[in-house]
A and B are shown apart, each in its own frame.
Chain A
Amino acid sequence: DAGVTQSPTHLIKTRGQQVTLRCSPKSGHDTVCWYQQALGQGPQFIFQYYEEEERQRGNFPDRFSGHQFPNYSSELNVNALLLGDSALYLCASSLSLRATNEQFFGPGTRLTVL
């Protein structure tokens, strides 16, 4: 049973560029969340997708957008990259919106903006 997978593992971009990160949830899971983790800090919630809609959003600008596909996989898009966007981007999946379900995290995508 595959867990949460993310691609690519590492990515280097320059300021102003756009990036797309991908996530496949754990088998059977239908809810996907994205987090940004700067070096030395805890993960910060970006947004949550369920039934192909953004359900909740953290304090991130509109440059951060996402999508969820019918197979529950998800993409995170970041436009007009800034140096401060350099971070580990984590995807987490769970079953439905109920907090009592476990949330499984992927290994993350390390984004470096030069």
Chain B
Amino acid sequence: DAKTTQPPSMDCAEGRAANLPCNHSTISGNEYVYWYRQIHSQGPQYIIHGLKNNETNEMASLIITEDRKSSTLILPHATLRDTAVYYCIVRVDTNAGKSTFGDGTTLTVKP
């Protein structure tokens, strides 16, 4: 699986959009980009995933660059409850579950 690079930490003001970047420059054509978050002392929670098109669900939006070498997770209106560690991972279609997690980005939403 391709390696991902994320900034170790970010701050965001409550009510503003949080934009979390992820670099995956070695991604292969059959690898999906997944985002999870982990709130303190809980298991990771699935947020969103995509292959090459931008995706949106009730939690967030995922923007993948045209060359697929990077992506951005957007939380449109961050709340204090969005404070968590956010993980960006890439996964081959036939490799379900064998997710390689890096150290993620710790997002702190401030009032």
Report the bound CA distance from A64 to B58 in whole Å.
Answer: 38
**A105/B45 contact (C-beta < 8 A), A43-B101, A99-B91 known:** yes
Query: Using Cβ atoms and an 8 Å threshold, which residues of chain A touch B85?
Result: 42
Query: Are B101 and A42 in contact, with the CB atoms below 8 A?
Result: yes
Most interface-central of A42, A103, A105 (chain B CB within 10 A): A42
The A/B interface has a contact count, at CB < 8 Å, of: 74
Report the bound CA distance from A105 to B102 in whole Å.
Answer: 17
Q: Say how far A86's CB is from chain B's closest CB, in angstroms.
A: 15
**A45/B96 contact (C-beta < 8 A), A99-B32, A99-B91, A107-B42 known:** no
Main secondary structure of the interface of B (DSSP, over half): loop
Which range contains the number of B residues in contact with the other chain? 20 to 34
**A45/B44 contact (C-beta < 8 A), A98-B93, A99-B93, A99-B94 known:** no
| Residues 6-61 (chain A) with a chain B CB within 8 angstroms | 31, 33, 35, 40-45, 48, 56, 58
Interface residues of A, Cβ cutoff 8 Å to B: 4, 31, 33, 35, 40-45, 48, 56, 58, 90, 92, 94, 96-108
7 intermolecular pairs with C-beta atoms under 8 Å apart:
A33-B98, A40-B103, A44-B101, A45-B100, A98-B93, A98-B94, A108-B42
